[in-house]
Amino acid sequence: MRSLLLRDLAQVATPAAAPPARGAELAHVEVVEDAYILCRGESIAAVGRMRDLGALDGEIEELDCSGLCAVPGLVDCHTHPAWGGDRVAEFSLRARGASYEELHAAGGGILSTVAATRALGDDGLHARVARHAGWMLAHGTTTWEGKSGYGLDRDTELRSLRAIRAAGGHATWLGAHAVPPEHPDADAYVEYLIADVLAAAAELATAADVFVERGAFDADQARRYLEACRDAGLALRLHGDQFTERGAIPLAIELGARSVDHLEATTADGIRALAASDVVGVLLPASALFLDRPMPPARALADGGAALALATDFNPGSAFTTSLPLVASLACTQLHLGPEEALTAMTLNAAHVLGLHDRGRIVAGLRADVTLLDAPDWRYLAYHLGGDVVRAVIRDGSLAYRR
Ligand code: NIG
Ligand code: FE
């Protein structure tokens, strides 16, 4: 069996809690100094101090990691990577004061990306998603979720889910992202999704997602869509409380959803309810920053005992970034989470949101997914704002990226 020894690491840092870490457990990170990680095949075989590394049998490839720190391969549990065109013109308008919601209401925003995505051929769509996946890897992401939601018709939604899978992503069907112009209203569109798209989407995706918001879907429409998706075997996610509270948290709890994502507009009752539930709050501070919106109440959620994850929300309109290290910096500077909490939220807990329990920590027996940081202390992951902190990435026990 192929073996890879990562030797002379300055530090190995890994979440120590069982998933999902909640409340104070988010800060439980174990650090081993002057360490090694031994990978055998696609798994981690051992982790420890260099001085305790005994003689090893067989042929072993070694990687000198002096001056580097290891964290678990980062897990981006919320991205929108399947789209055509871009939104740079809209970005320029927003920079000078136009609002995201006004642009959306005027047929720009998400719907302009839908038109560009429908116009993209299959090869073009595959190439786009693969390019975005390459960006994620270069930022230390070894596992990512990708949503459809810029097709909004049967053919383009299914092509999007296939392209996400082909690029190595975990596919989420976001059929209920916006109402496309060919349907009279949101109710009619939800009926179409359930009757004409769901069965095929459920073959390709592992989860379903809905945008609960003014101008998108209300809680009753979301319930109809999500119940049908759950009956088809899909895990449930919700975009909720991005601009306004529209009942996404109570609905997520009622349906046993995996997560509610965004939460920039969540107030005291929502914080209390989410913190007392098993639903993970997925925070997307890059999106709040990109749209110049309030940050989600992360500290109150963590202190209240919530299970939290962090993700990029990578998409062309509200969060054009694939960098989880940038998100870690925002978590510390804007959300008032510690680097330990941020690390747990973008590894262990993010994997839990995706239903993946074979990754997210650096311990023997889990998948050998490791992100190597060019830093003397692992907390540079958050500290080095916008820095080139990722030096190399090990995925499935092999070197997948190196700078
Ligand atoms: O998560 N909020 C809805 N959907 C995306 C943005 C989509 C877009 O602007 O293209 C989000 O922010
Ligand atoms: Fe999103």
Give per-residue pLDDT as tens, 331-369.
999 999 999 999 999 999 999 999 999 999 999 999 999
Indicate the helix (H) or strand (E) that contains 114. helix 109-119
Q: What does the pLDDT read at residue 104?
A: 82
Q: Among 93, 160, 315, which residue has the most ligand 1 atoms within 8 Å of its CB, making it the best to mutate?
A: 315
Distance CA 332, CA 339 (A): 6
Instruction: Tell me the C-alpha distance between 253 and 84, whole Å.
Output: 34
The amino acid sitting at 111 is L
- Please tell me the residue having the least CA distance from ligand 1 atom 1: 313
Which ligand does the CA of 79 lie closest to? 2
pLDDT at 206: 98
Dihedral angle, C-alpha 311, 316, 317, 321, nearest 10 °: 40
pLDDT for position 108: 81
- For residue 105, the model assigns a pLDDT of 81
Cα separation, 305 vs 319, in Å, equals: 27
CA pair distance 158, 198, nearest whole angstrom = 10
Tell whether the torsion through CA atoms of 62, 63, 67 and 71 is positive or negative: negative
Gap between the terminal Cα atoms of the chain: 27
Give me the pLDDT at residue 103, please.
86
H/E segment holding residue 281: strand 280-283
Q: For Cα atoms 3, 399, 338, give the angle at the middle one, nearest 5 degrees.
A: 105
Cβ atoms of 125 and 84 closer than 8 Å: yes
CA distance 129 to 347: 22
Residue 22 gets which letter from DSSP? Answer: B
| CA–centroid distance, residue 78 to ligand 2 (Å) | 6
Q: What is the pLDDT of residue 32?
A: 98
Pocket test for ligand 1, best of 112, 239, 290, 291 (most atoms within 8 A of CB): 239
* The two structure tokens encoding residue 328: 């870690």
| Nearest ligand 1 atom, CA 317 | 9
Task: State mean pLDDT over 271-277.
Answer: 98
* pLDDT band, residue 102 (cuts 50/70/90): confident
Query: Cβ atoms within 10 A of the Cβ of 43, count?
Result: 17
Mean pLDDT value across residues 245-269 = 98
Q: State the pTM of this model.
A: 0.98
pLDDT in tens, 128-184: 999 999 999 999 999 999 999 999 999 999 999 999 999 999 999 999 999 999 999
Is residue 1 helix, strand or coil?
A: coil
Evaluate whether 154 touches 182 at the Cβ level (below 8 Å): no
Q: Which residues contact 190 (CB under 8 A, 6 or more apart)?
A: 176, 217, 221, 224, 225
Q: Find out whether the peptide bond into 20 is cis, omega within 30 degrees of 0.
A: yes
Distance 288 CA to ligand 2 centre (A): 11
Cα 319 to ligand 2 centre (Å): 8
Residues 23/302, Cβ–Cβ less than 8 Å: yes
Whether 106 has a pLDDT exceeding 90, the answer reads no
